[in-house]
Structure 1
Amino acid sequence: MNTSRLPAYATMAFVLLVVLIVAANACLYIVDEREQAVILQFGAPVASRTEPGLYFKAPFVQEVRRLPKTLRFWSSGQEVLKDMPTADGKKIEVSAWAVWRITDPKAFVQNLRTVEGGEAAVMVRLRSAIRDVITAHDLEEVVRSTDRKLTYSFQDLLTVKGQDAIVVDVPIVAVAQPGVSGDVRMGREKIMDLVGQKVAMQIKQEGGSVDRGIELVEVGISNIEFVPQVRLAAFERQKAFMQSIAAGYSNAGLQRKQEIINQTNAEVERLLGEGEQQSRVARGNADAENIAKTAAAIKETGDFYEFVRTLEMYQEALQGKTRLILTTDSDLLRLLKSPTAGRNPTPQATTSAE
């Protein structure tokens, strides 16, 4: 055997192996269980593969476009639906989401070409359906699913209890709450079902005979809020509501303060009145006792007291330059003539000389 030809055979074998690998790569392809494939021949879809496995294709003529088989999630994100008026005149902003999947990869590539094209189709039709449905219903239908009675933290009456169990009811104008004006006929879940049906119909081509190769699994609304102008107005109204509550507490406190002051003043007046009454009683008792003692003293001293009082009266009357005109029968004249004339003479004993 000629060993000089071995390198040439090895080179030919290596080249042949490379050619086989390239040919196999051009003719064979594998479909994973999480994906599906569409065979394109000169750019037109000719076949689809939805089951995992090893498949053949014509080399250099056909190409494989792989598509996800799993569920796809789309969310509006920052691209919210703005300035959407409801049937009752409320302007809101809506953030939506959708779950969809590719059911017919060949039809999908024929109509939408790529996954990004499919998301764009879902987005456009979902936004349109949400706008059409929400504008036809009241806000309470969109945000509520049942007509159960709603409860709130704030009531129409603010009850303030004082330390003496005095209850003061302060009226407060409550903030109007959306979604409480009537009964819920459909609710949010049924409205979203209606949106899903409209999107499913819009995904099909006109006439509904050809499917675009995608299926809408579920749609929903992640967030609903008022437009900025309404949010600002609602904030100002809520602030006014809280200020009214604060004013209610303040007024109740002032009222309670005035009640305490009035009660204190009444108690002080009562104590002062009782003290004045007791003082008058004590003074009256002292005056009565003084008068009684004076009367008793006058009764005991008799004429001597009367004489002393007369002298005191004359002393007061005759001070300074005083001119008196006295009659002959005046007691003062008799007193001036004889100090004993004003008193009753005492009987003197008479004696006879022997």
Structure 2
Amino acid sequence: MNRSLLLLPLLAILIFVGLSSLFIVDEREKALVLRFGRVVQVQEEPGLAFKAPFIDEVVRYSDLILSRDPDPIRVTPEDQRILIVDAFARYRIENVTKFRQAVGAGGQQNAERSLDLVLDDSIREVLGSVTSNDILSVDRVTLMNRIRDRADARAENLGLTIIDVRLKRTDLPQENQTATFARMIAERDEEAADLRARGREAQQAIQAAADRTVVELESDANRQSLIIRGEADAERNRIFADSFGADPEFFEFYRSMEAYGKSLTPGNSTMVLSPDSEFFNYLKSDQGLAASE
């Protein structure tokens, strides 16, 4: 009985020591076993693990993809137009030993401060080598990839892997927006004035070509009309000559009728002539001169 009473405390101590030497690693985390602050074991696989009881300390870190959203920063691009850049990053603790050595006992809080510095330096370096138009453009994938690669190379010393960096917002500072908008308006006005001047120049060229074409067409039309009129007059004279040559009496009659028509017009019907004037031959008789012979 006395022996059993002595074994119970011993058994309890053994159970307590055994439990103190065991720890469980979740699938969402990685663990370090520290002995007097020095890393003696890295446990990255989930499951049951062992450590020295009472001496070793277990420190756990997340194995998930983490996000960091630092405060917006001022960036000066190549064209000296200051921009406010707001970015965020997704990262993961890749090497827990390096991570512990870099951040110490501060853990996640120290890591975020160090990561913010890495992101700020990478953003300033990449965006400072391009113009503000490149930064403000819709297609910024290349810039974000360059920032990610630079940040990832520097974050390796922290035991981190930068998975992605995104630019959420790139704006002008409030004090510069008015001046920038005014300059943009002036630039657009200048472009519009240049386009209008080119339009007027093109209009004048088109108008001059049209006027020249009109003159050429009118000149050619007048030339053609003169040719046709001359040919018609010649044909008329030929027909008259043929007709008058065939019947001289008809020629005399026709000439007299033309003279009567031109002379006896309204307002000019009073004439003083001798009664035996030849002008009235066809008024006296339809035979003209032949009637008096």
Tell me which interval the TM-score lies in, with the shorter structure as reference length: 0.5 to 0.7
Kindly indicate whether residue 155 of structure 2 is the aligned counterpart of residue 197 of structure 1. Answer: no
Kindly indicate whether residue 159 of structure 2 is the aligned counterpart of residue 213 of structure 1. Answer: yes
1:62 corresponds to: 56
Equivalences, count = 184
Higher share in helix: 2
Which residue, out of 68, 89, 99, partners 1:98?
89
Which residue, out of 130, 133, 141, partners 2:134?
141
Shift of 1:233: 4.3
Whichever residue aligns with residue 80 of structure 1, its letter is P
Unaligned ranges ≥5, structure 2 = 186-293
Whichever residue aligns with residue 72 of structure 2, its letter is V
CA distance in 2, matches of 1:34, 1:75: 22
Which stretch shows the higher mean deviation, 85-94 or 50-59? Answer: 85-94
Contact kept, 8 Å, 1:134 with 1:142, in 2: the verdict is yes
Kindly indicate whether residue 170 of structure 2 is the aligned counterpart of residue 224 of structure 1. Answer: yes
2:72 corresponds to: 80
Whichever residue aligns with residue 230 of structure 1, its letter is N
1:171 corresponds to: none
Normalised TM-score (structure 2): 0.57
Contact kept, 8 Å, 2:86 with 2:167, in 1: the verdict is yes
Q: Deviations over 1:217-240 (max 9, x none)?
A: 11111111111201354678999x
Shift of 1:136: 1.3
CA distance in 1, matches of 2:54, 2:154: 37
> CA 1:16–1:236 in 2, change beyond 3 Å: closer, same or farther?
farther
Which residue, out of 85, 97, 101, partners 1:110?
101
CA distance in 2, matches of 1:214, 1:238: 42
CA distance in 1, matches of 2:113, 2:154: 13
Q: How does 1:1-354 map to 2 (within 5 A)?
A: 5=1, 9=4, 13=8, 15-76=9-70, 79-82=71-74, 84-113=75-104, 114-146=107-139, 188-205=140-157, 212-233=158-179
RMSD of equivalent CA atoms: 2.7
CA distance in 2, matches of 1:54, 1:109: 22
Higher relative contact order (CA 8 A, sep 6+): 1
Larger CA Rg, structure 1 vs 2? 1
Identity level (%): 26
CA distance in 2, matches of 1:65, 1:203: 21
Whichever residue aligns with residue 122 of structure 1, its letter is L
Shift of 1:116: 2.0
Shift of 1:98: 0.6
Contact kept, 8 Å, 1:34 with 1:70, in 2: the verdict is yes
CA distance in 2, matches of 1:203, 1:238: 39
CA distance in 2, matches of 1:18, 1:36: 30
Shift of 1:24: 2.5
SS where residue 64 of structure 2 aligns? coil
SS where residue 111 of structure 1 aligns? helix
Shift of 1:20: 3.4
CA distance in 1, matches of 2:169, 2:182: 22
CA distance in 1, matches of 2:183, 2:138: 26
CA distance in 2, matches of 1:213, 1:89: 35
> CA 1:234–1:57 in 2, change beyond 3 Å: closer, same or farther?
same
SS where residue 112 of structure 1 aligns? helix
Shift of 1:30: 0.3
Unaligned ranges ≥5, structure 1 = 147-187, 206-211, 240-354
Contact kept, 8 Å, 1:45 with 1:110, in 2: the verdict is no
